[in-house]
């Protein structure tokens, strides 16, 4: 028998949720989880442990502390490998985040391409899955194309995607879940289409990894990128999964300590995977604590967390749809627990975000690092509320009550 989902017990593990905000000392209602999720006690303790017990540089010392720190980092590599179903721990590269992981692939893999080769992305990408490809396109004379949304829909136009794929397509990069619309893209289908065209695929899993079980082999993806801070883990750490045959062919992204086999003044040779792509001292304390965050998510149950978030999503959206003048952006079936919205035409996203903050409610406002998508939606910004494991029905109700007050302020 499974135990009931106990939000109180979960919340008790996140001390930050007890704080108040603003002059009115309003209890914090944290609904900015898509930007970053909060971190449970056990992960904070793992970080403190790292700094108070085992801090020593990794892969550099024979002394006990260095060995222990190295073991903790490498155990996390294996933990991540199991978590995402990768074939080998050598295919797991630690980065500073999703952004750096994508930059790594764009800089390194694209250096193997020829002028006139093509990269396909989508209009719903985060800037971190657009700009690195633009930089690579400029440097190597590549062409960048973007899959549009289906007319009047929050989903990608897969017919247009099929038409964009050509014999010159070398890379396809797209997000598994839109950070604005919440749309869950059909990853495996899109990967298969790219592979049939002879392209490699990078999946941006930043918004997927805390809300669904990511299996890189079931996706058949060539590269997958995600960030620890969006999965209850420490900030400043990310993961790039890469298919071994590709990583082996790719040149290093950065040069420095630990990524070399041998260095002479005029040339160097590279370390084996994964170290070829890990120049310099990593955040080994944070990396070790990422393992604890994964343990926490699995113990709580990723599917159970997602079901809980979805029930909060339904509750909030039902109430919001009943409010005149509220426009919700994103209505794809099975979407993630993200609500992007605007109210009337008088209230800007910033007005709404500011007023919500006065009432203790933290949401994100603006273009959400997705300006091309904002252009498609015909707005300069939206307000975004998003849910995580620790949010409650009472918080949804407080959020809805706050929206009703804002509704009155603007006479909507």
Which residues of the shown chain bind ligand PLP in the complex (CB under 6 A)? 35, 97-99, 126, 128-129, 175, 179, 204, 206-207, 227, 238
Each residue of 192-230: b (16+ CB within 10 Å) or e?
ebbeebebbbbbbbbbbbbbbebebeebbbbbbbbbbbb
Q: Assess contact for 244 and 90: CB atoms under 8 A.
A: yes
Helix (H, G, I), strand (E, B) or coil at 222: coil
DSSP-assigned beta bridge partners for residue 172: 120, 201
Of residues 144 and 260, the one with the C-beta less far from ligand PLP = 144
Closest distance between ligand PLP and the C-beta of residue 242, in Å?
Answer: 17
Output the 3-class SS for 311-372: HHHHHHHHHHHCCCCEEEECCCCCCCCEEEEEECCCCCHHHHHHHHHHCCEECEEECCCCHH
Query: Smallest distance, Å, CB 81 to ligand PLP?
Result: 20
Q: What is the smallest separation between the CB atom of 204 and ligand PLP, expressed in angstroms?
A: 5
Nearest-approach distance from CB 168 to ligand PLP, in angstroms? 26
Comparison of 7 and 235: residue with beta carbon closer to ligand PLP: 235
Residue 238 or 274: the one with the smaller Cβ distance to ligand PLP is 238
Q: Which CB, 35 or 409, lies closer to ligand PLP?
A: 35
How far is the C-alpha of 105 from the C-alpha of 242, rounded, in Å?
A: 9
Give the contacts of 105 (CB within 8 A, at least 6 positions apart): 132, 202, 223, 225, 240, 242
* Those residues with Cβ within 8 angstroms of residue 74's Cβ, 6 or more apart along the chain or in another chain: 89
CB atoms within 10 A of CB 46: 24
Q: Which residues are catalytic?
A: 369
Distance CA 396, CA 29 (A): 9
- For the bound state, the minimum distance from the C-beta of residue 175 to ligand PLP, rounded and expressed in Å, comes to 5
Whichever of 103 and 391 has its CB closer to ligand PLP, that residue is 103
Nearer to ligand PLP, 308 or 364 (CB): 364
Q: How far is the CB of 229 from ligand PLP (least distance, A)?
A: 6
User: Please, are residues 156 and 99 in contact by the beta-carbon 8 Å criterion?
Assistant: no
The three-point CA angle 320-324-328 to 5° equals 45
Q: Which is nearer to ligand PLP, 149 or 206 (CB)?
A: 206
Shortest distance (Å) from residue 101 CB to ligand PLP: 8
- Exposure string of 268-302, with b = 16+ CB inside 10 Å and e = fewer, is eebbebbbbbbbeebbbbbbbbbbbbbebbeebeb
């Amino acid at each position: 028998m499974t135990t009931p989902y106990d939000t109180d017990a979960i919340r008790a593990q996140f001390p930050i949720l007890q704080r108040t905000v603003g002059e009115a000392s309003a209890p914090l209602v944290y609904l900015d989880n898509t930007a970053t999720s909060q971190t449970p006690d056990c992960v904070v303790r793992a970080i403190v442990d790292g700094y108070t017990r085992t801090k020593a540089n990794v892969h550099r010392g024979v002394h006990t502390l260095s060995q222990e720190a190295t073991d903790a980092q490498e155990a996390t590599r294996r933990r991540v490998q199991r978590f995402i179903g990768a074939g080998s721990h050598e295919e797991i590269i630690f980065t500073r985040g999703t952004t750096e992981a994508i930059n790594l692939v764009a800089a390194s893999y694209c250096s193997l391409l020829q002028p006139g080769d093509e990269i396909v992305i989508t209009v719903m990408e985060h800037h971190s899955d657009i700009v690195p490809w633009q930089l690579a396109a400029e440097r190597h004379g590549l062409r960048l194309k973007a899959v549009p949304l289906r007319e009047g829909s929050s989903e990608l136009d897969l017919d247009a995607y099929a038409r964009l794929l050509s014999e010159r397509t070398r890379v396809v990069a797209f997000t598994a879940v839109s950070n604005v619309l919440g749309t869950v893209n059909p990853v495996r289908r899109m990967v298969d289409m790219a592979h049939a065209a002879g392209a490699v695929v990078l999946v941006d899993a930043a918004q997927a990894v805390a809300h669904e079980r990511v299996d890189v082999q079931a996706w058949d993806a060539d590269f997958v990128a995600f960030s620890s801070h969006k999965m209850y883990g420490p900030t400043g750490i990310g993961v790039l999964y890469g298919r071994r045959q590709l990583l082996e062919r790719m040149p290093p992204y950065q040069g420095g300590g630990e990524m070399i086999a041998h260095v002479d003044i005029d040339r160097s040779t590279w370390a084996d995977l994964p170290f070829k792509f890990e120049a310099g001292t990593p955040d080994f304390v944070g990396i070790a604590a990422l393992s604890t965050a994964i343990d926490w998510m699995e113990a709580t149950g990723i599917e159970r967390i997602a079901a809980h978030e979805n029930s909060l999503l339904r509750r909030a959206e039902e109430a919001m749809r009943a409010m005149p003048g509220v426009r919700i952006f994103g209505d794809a079936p099975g979407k993630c627990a993200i609500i992007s919205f605007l109210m009337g035409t008088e209230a800007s996203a910033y007005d709404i975000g500011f007023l919500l903050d006065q009432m203790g409610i933290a949401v994100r406002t603006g273009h959400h690092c997705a300006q091309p998508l904002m252009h498609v939606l015909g707005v300069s910004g939206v307000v975004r509320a998003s849910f995580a494991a620790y949010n409650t029905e009472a918080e949804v109700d407080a959020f809805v009550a706050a929206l009703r007050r804002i509704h009155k302020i603007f006479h909507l």
